[in-house]
Amino acid sequence: MSVKFAVLGHGVVGSGVVELFYKNKKSIEKRAGTEMDIKYILDLRDFPDSPYQDKFTKDFNDILNDDEVTAVAECMGGVEPAFTFVSACLSKGKSVSTSNKELVAEKGDILLRIAKENNCNFFFEASVGGAIPIIRPLHRCLAANDIEKVAGILNGTTNFILTKMYNDNMPFADALKLAQELGYAEKDPTADIEGHDACRKICIISSLVFGRHVYPKSVFTKGISQVELCDVAAADVLGHAIKLIASVRRMDNGKILPVVMPSLISYENILSGVTDVFNAVLVYGDGIDQAMFYGRGAGKLPTASAVLGDVIEAVKHKVTVFSQSWESASDDSFIESHKKLAARWYFRVPAGTDVPEGSYEHENGISFITENVMTLEAAEAEASKLGALAMYPVFE
Amino acid sequence: MSVKFAVLGHGVVGSGVVELFYKNKKSIEKRAGTEMDIKYILDLRDFPDSPYQDKFTKDFNDILNDDEVTAVAECMGGVEPAFTFVSACLSKGKSVSTSNKELVAEKGDILLRIAKENNCNFFFEASVGGAIPIIRPLHRCLAANDIEKVAGILNGTTNFILTKMYNDNMPFADALKLAQELGYAEKDPTADIEGHDACRKICIISSLVFGRHVYPKSVFTKGISQVELCDVAAADVLGHAIKLIASVRRMDNGKILPVVMPSLISYENILSGVTDVFNAVLVYGDGIDQAMFYGRGAGKLPTASAVLGDVIEAVKHKVTVFSQSWESASDDSFIESHKKLAARWYFRVPAGTDVPEGSYEHENGISFITENVMTLEAAEAEASKLGALAMYPVFE
């Protein structure tokens, strides 16, 4: 018997799914243990040059009402109509694999519940870290661990910009323009550079690891648009790279603290070597100590690879994989205020300020890293007292 | 119903499995979807101080003949009696999870077949890369990819030694002694420093990725005992780190070429940043481009974490996971001769030799990297012609 699936959306990721599937159809079928084929591709646009003319439909109901379709790849993006379509598919027992991080970050708990009620699966490996296997390793391979902390470089656009600032001394605005020219950044780059994209991804990771839905609005999020060349250069002298780090950790009081902030990472930490558009996720657990997963966080075929990997899993699993799931959250009282974030801090202060030993004086002021750990709240008071020109946490 | 499993061997890894299981029992049971407990621990020694006295047995038949035991963690090491015990368990339909790379590299195909015939699983995530999830990502998460090449730093001891040589200018013999003092190297360090341990691991990866059993004896293996400080320093000047790289690639003629060799890695490659006792595996596929998995490749709890992750999987899967499997090989005609390994090469030649531009002259000779790619065979002829004092491939 041949398993039939549908692809919702024929944009960058959706067309990548179709392309990669037909390229590797034989080995994919071997791994899935069954013959497979794409029966429908849903898109409102026409693709007269596509070799798969016979598969295109503009009517979602063709897919929904075809009992032969048992799995669906959702590659449309955005919350609607994706949420309506995915809910409908899951309600009919069709497993859905998605690359749509907005959908998972906003509606993951609801969709996971519908999947469970209908004995099928809602998979979303592609929604975090593109090609990088991270969702499945987190809940399966590391299942024996108590995971304390996860930190990642989860947005390729901002990592590209920071890499250009670092390697080529290119100012933020020029690096952003280059990213747009290369197709790494959208015309409106807000979601990337202000950290919203990374925020959605750390919400998904936080929900999966700690078991309750974390909404983007509950996460303190700061982007990289204020990062200056002089701080990138000074951090380097102090033995650190500046990266946009999305992290979540469990606090001693049992709450969790997810944040997205430009942060200093010591060159001793493997995350500091993640450059260009690459993403990486570092996981800290009591058994493993630390493990990192690295790869392309976006792009046509990398994202398609993750979506298809999930489709293959969906075909192999006839029942709900309950470990990849979390509960709804009635409020966000389990989330700690970002003001409690404890770290050592990078400060840049005006020339002439009284600073500790080991500080680095340069033409834009004096940069140093505090010896002591303090909360963001205390660091802000200190920054105000010193008249600090810049301040970033050191990720450790 | 509570699922009962047994732990074979109470050495470093086996005792780690027991410790980690009881530490995280509650969350492990949640992820497994069932209550679980250890019913037996097999060891010929006595452990009068262990809090789990009632579980110890010296008779393997207690475990084999107890139908309540449905899963087994094998942490004894070595081919025998592990092979006999594991075969017997699988034949009775008890799934086995192992950390034993010798066993998998020598007998994996046979054990996978027995598991299949008895509708249970033989899992071995812990046998490669310790805590690092690599086996499951390779055959599940990356299932949509055509994997062309895999390369890894698969031995922590040699990576520690090379890191010391690099960071502290410490000669090989001193670094080895330090590794022994720290417990990273055995009293007889041959298996590590001569590459046999890395060889077993690349055999397992090669078998899984390319589908046919690759035996250690078929793999050209060179260790690090000949690596000199002056080459480590010269490689650095030329923008590269020297690492013990175990790799396998598919050749144009369809054969595969696994090798273990000290190799130069450009600082542009993320693998070059893997230091100390850490391991990493870099996978190249047509969908993902590249992805890297990084973490602790050995140690009590890291390895235990991987073994337990597999036990949890075994408990969740009532049928054989057929994608994690390979065929026996009647001969090694599908393995290409190492003489066909194509690379650019690092040469160190005596002072006064005619060398290309960009060479680095130092007190132990002149070091350079060839501009052209050539086979190992051709490189050896070139080395002989130049009277080369050292020669290493550049991994790309």
Across A151-161, average pLDDT: 97
**More confident position, B84 or A141:** B84
Give the closest-approach CA distance of A273 to chain B in angstroms. Answer: 7
Residue B51's SS3 state is: coil
Residue A387 pLDDT > 80: yes
Cα dihedral: B164, B166, B170, B172 (round 10): 80
Q: Rounded CA gap, A137 and B294, in Å?
A: 12
- Of A30-34, B258-262, B308-312, B363-367, the poorest mean pLDDT is in A30-34
Interface of A with B in 110-139 (CB under 8 A): 125, 131-133, 136-137, 139
What pLDDT is recorded for position A341?
98
Nearest to B143 by CA among A341, A306, A276: A306
Cβ atoms of B344 and B373 within 8 Å: the answer is yes
Across B153-175, average pLDDT: 96
Of chain B, the percentage scoring pLDDT greater than 70 comes to 100
Residue A92 pLDDT grade (very low, low, confident, very high; cuts 50, 70, 90): very high
Please give the positions of A annotated as active site.
201
Strand-pair partners of A36: A3
Across B86-102, average pLDDT: 97
Q: What is the pLDDT of residues A184-195, one digit of tens each?
A: 998 999 999 999
Give the closest-approach CA distance of A304 to chain B in angstroms. Answer: 7
Interface of B with A in 141-180 (CB under 8 A): 141-146
DSSP B338-386: GGG-EEEEEEEE-TT----TT-EEETTEEEEE-SS-EEHHHHHHHHHHH
Q: Rounded CA gap, B30 and A210, in Å?
A: 13
Cβ atoms of A92 and A118 within 8 Å: the answer is yes
Select from A273, A289, A302 the Cβ nearest to the Cβ of B270: A273
Residue A105 pLDDT > 80: yes
Give the closest-approach CA distance of B286 to chain A in angstroms. Answer: 8
Cβ atoms of B125 and B98 within 8 Å: the answer is no
Across B13-42, average pLDDT: 96
A143 and B32 within 8 Å at the Cβ level: the answer is yes
Strand-pair partners of A361: A366
Cβ atoms of B100 and B73 within 8 Å: the answer is no
Residue B41 pLDDT > 90: yes
Of chain A, the percentage scoring pLDDT greater than 90 comes to 91
**More confident position, B321 or A94:** A94
Number of H helices, E strands in chain A: 13, 17
Q: What's the full length of chain A, in residues?
A: 396
What pLDDT is recorded for position A378?
98
Give the closest-approach CA distance of B233 to chain A in angstroms. Answer: 20
Residue B140 pLDDT grade (very low, low, confident, very high; cuts 50, 70, 90): confident
Question: How many Cα neighbours within 13 Å face the side chain of A201?
Answer: 33
One-letter identity of residue B100: N
Residue A127 pLDDT > 90: yes
Residue B141's SS3 state is: helix
Q: What is the pTM of this model?
A: 0.94
Q: Find the radius of gyration of the CA atoms of chain A.
A: 22
Residue A60 in contact with partner chain B when CB distance is under 8 A: no
Q: Rounded CA gap, A114 and A119, in Å?
A: 9
One-letter identity of residue A148: E
What pLDDT is recorded for position B36?
97
Contacts of B342 (CB under 8 A, 6+ apart): B373, B374, B375
**More confident position, B108 or B321:** B108
Across B13-30, average pLDDT: 96
Of chain B, the percentage scoring pLDDT greater than 90 comes to 92
Q: What is the pLDDT of residues A223-258, one digit of tens each?
A: 999 999 999 999 999 999 999 999 999 999 999 999
Q: What is the pLDDT of residues A353-365, one digit of tens each?
A: 999 988 999 999 9
Residue B273 in contact with partner chain A when CB distance is under 8 A: yes
Residue B19, classified by CB atoms within 10 Å of its CB into exposed (0-12), middle (13-18) or buried (19+), is middle
Q: What is the largest CA-CA distance in chain B?
A: 77
Cβ atoms of A296 and A158 within 8 Å: the answer is no
Nearest to B296 by CA among B312, B274, B311, B313: B274
What pLDDT is recorded for position B359?
96
CB pairs under 8 A between A and B: 179
What is the edge-to-edge ordering of all strands in the sheet holding A95-98? A56-57, A35-42, A2-8, A69-74, A95-98, A122-123
Q: What is the pLDDT of residues A322-344, one digit of tens each?
A: 778 899 998 999 999 999 999 99
User: N- to C-terminal Cα distance for chain A?
Assistant: 52
Q: Rounded CA gap, A320 and B140, in Å?
A: 17
Q: What is the pLDDT of residues B229-253, one digit of tens each?
A: 999 999 999 999 999 999 999 999 9
Select from B33, B132, B287 the Cβ nearest to the Cβ of A305: B287
Residue of B nearest to A19 (CA): B287
Nearest to B243 by CA among B232, B234, B233: B232
Residue B296 in contact with partner chain A when CB distance is under 8 A: yes
b/e for A349-363, b at 16 or more Cβ within 10 A? beeebebeeebbeee
**More confident position, A33 or A200:** A200
Residue of A nearest to B270 (CA): A273
Nearest to A161 by CA among A232, A112, A222: A232
Cβ atoms of A323 and A143 within 8 Å: the answer is yes
A289 and B21 within 8 Å at the Cβ level: the answer is no
Nearest to B130 by CA among A201, A288, A57, A98: A288
Q: What is the pLDDT of residues B190-231, one digit of tens each?
A: 999 999 999 999 999 999 999 999 999 999 999 999 999 999
Residue A28 in contact with partner chain B when CB distance is under 8 A: yes
Residue B322 pLDDT grade (very low, low, confident, very high; cuts 50, 70, 90): confident
Q: What DSSP character marks residue B255? A: -
What pLDDT is recorded for position A319?
82
- From chain A, pick out residues whose CB is under 8 angstroms from the CB of B143: 28, 31-32, 308-309, 312-313
ipTM: 0.93
B291 and A291 within 8 Å at the Cβ level: the answer is no
| Whole-Å CA distances, B262 to B242, B282, B378 | 6, 16, 18
Average pLDDT, chain A: 95
CA angle A263, A137, B161 (to 5 degrees): 70
Residue B272 pLDDT > 80: yes
Q: What is the pLDDT of residues A287-321, one digit of tens each?
A: 999 999 999 998 999 999 999 999 999 998 878 88
| Whole-Å CA distances, A334 to A145, A202, A247, B302 | 21, 16, 16, 29
Residue A12 in contact with partner chain B when CB distance is under 8 A: no
What pLDDT is recorded for position B353?
93
Q: For testing the chain B interface, which of A20, A25, A145, A279 should be mutated: the one with the most B CBs within 10 Å?
A: A145
Residue B318 pLDDT > 80: no
Contacts of A181 (CB under 8 A, 6+ apart): none
Residue B33 in contact with partner chain A when CB distance is under 8 A: yes
Q: Among the options B201, B217, B316, B385, which is catalytic?
A: B201
What pLDDT is recorded for position A318?
77
Select from A131, A137, A306 the Cβ nearest to the Cβ of B133: A137
Residue A101 pLDDT > 90: yes
Of chain A, the percentage scoring pLDDT greater than 70 comes to 100
Across A99-124, average pLDDT: 96
Which tokens belong to B41?
Answer: 């621990």
Residue B348 pLDDT grade (very low, low, confident, very high; cuts 50, 70, 90): very high
What pLDDT is recorded for position B139?
87
Residue B318 in contact with partner chain A when CB distance is under 8 A: no
* β-strands A289-296, A122-123 pairing: unpaired
Q: Rounded CA gap, A205 and A199, in Å?
A: 10
Q: Rounded CA gap, A246 and A222, in Å?
A: 10
